[in-house]
Amino acid sequence: MVSAYIKYLLRSGNEHAIHSPFLFELYTKVISGVKDDNPDYIDLKALRKELLASQREIEILDLGAGSRVNKSNVRKIRTIAKNAEKPEKFGKLFYRLIKRLQPKNIIELGTSLGLTTLYMSRAKKDASIISFEGCPQTAQIARENFDKTGAKNIEIVVGNIDDTLPARLEGLSDGIDYAYFDANHRYEPTVRYFEQCLPYATNDTLFIFDDIYWSDEMTQAWEYIKAHPQVTITVDLFWIGLVFFRKEQVKENFTLRF
């Protein structure tokens, strides 16, 4: 990842690299260099601190690519909070993206302890969020976190996403306006989940892929997604990749500083 990061730093640009007015506005007002001290974050910050200190142990059922730092299936909450949760910076970015794009139907693959889910939930309390998690005990902690913070718009679907995603998608009456893919960090499942969600994407949908340089497989999956004919604009922020389907845009792949 170090060499991938150096390459990213060398090729990434800022707002001067953007010709699309839509992306220019999104980048300068939502993505980069935004001072963001929203009071909505205060208790989520406190919850993160609490989880980072928690000695409570749970049994992990790992249905994904696994942890690089922990091979045991009994894990402290603090270890999960440190290694699996996306840092606050991304929670805030997702909050701002949701405030700006106003998606009604949101899905998240990979709930973990639910911290990122909570930033998304806070940004649009009347949105419906379906979050998928394979580990029952992790999902239980997420549920407790949703109750503690008064989140009412999140449904957790527990089980292997290989099975639960197609089943839950079938029951969707509306499309997907916003999807965050952060579960099984391998090529085949990432591409499969992307293709299963594609028929539900509209012109205004945003898909976000996590850890696009985590492994060669994830980088290959990112290349596949960028090249897909239905995808128009992509934005590589190194840690995550944004994918848009806006037909009015010329296909272009951006690499931007975050």
Residues at the contact surface with ligand SAM, assessed by CB under 6 A: 63-64, 84-86, 110, 112, 115-116, 132-135, 138, 160-162, 182-184
Shortest approach of ligand SAM to residue 52 CB, angstroms? 12
H/E run at residue 204: strand 201-210
Shortest approach of ligand SAM to residue 184 CB, angstroms? 4
Shortest approach of ligand SAM to residue 222 CB, angstroms? 16
31/240 with CB nearer ligand SAM: 240
Shortest approach of ligand SAM to residue 238 CB, angstroms? 16
26/58 with CB nearer ligand SAM: 58
Place of tokens 């402290």: 76
86/124 with CB nearer ligand SAM: 86
Shortest approach of ligand SAM to residue 96 CB, angstroms? 16
Pick from 221, 224, 244, 210: nearest CA to 109: 210
84/225 with CB nearer ligand SAM: 84
Alpha helices in 112-215 (DSSP H): 115-123, 136-148, 161-170, 187-197
Shortest approach of ligand SAM to residue 108 CB, angstroms? 6
Instruction: Let me know the angle formed at the C-alpha of 21 by 17 and 24, rounded to the nearest 5 degrees.
Output: 50
192/246 with CB nearer ligand SAM: 192
Pick from 212, 182, 210: nearest CA to 1: 212
Contact 1, 214 (CB under 8 A): yes
Pick from 232, 211, 231, 229: nearest CA to 220: 211
Q: What is the C-alpha separation between 33 and 86, in angstroms, rounded?
A: 19
214/232 with CB nearer ligand SAM: 214
- Neighbouring C-alpha atoms within 13 Å toward the C-beta of 98: 28
161/218 with CB nearer ligand SAM: 161
Shortest approach of ligand SAM to residue 20 CB, angstroms? 27
Q: Sort strands 154-158 and 176-181 into parallel, antiparallel or unpaired.
A: unpaired
Q: What is the C-alpha separation between 192 and 212, in angstroms, rounded?
A: 15
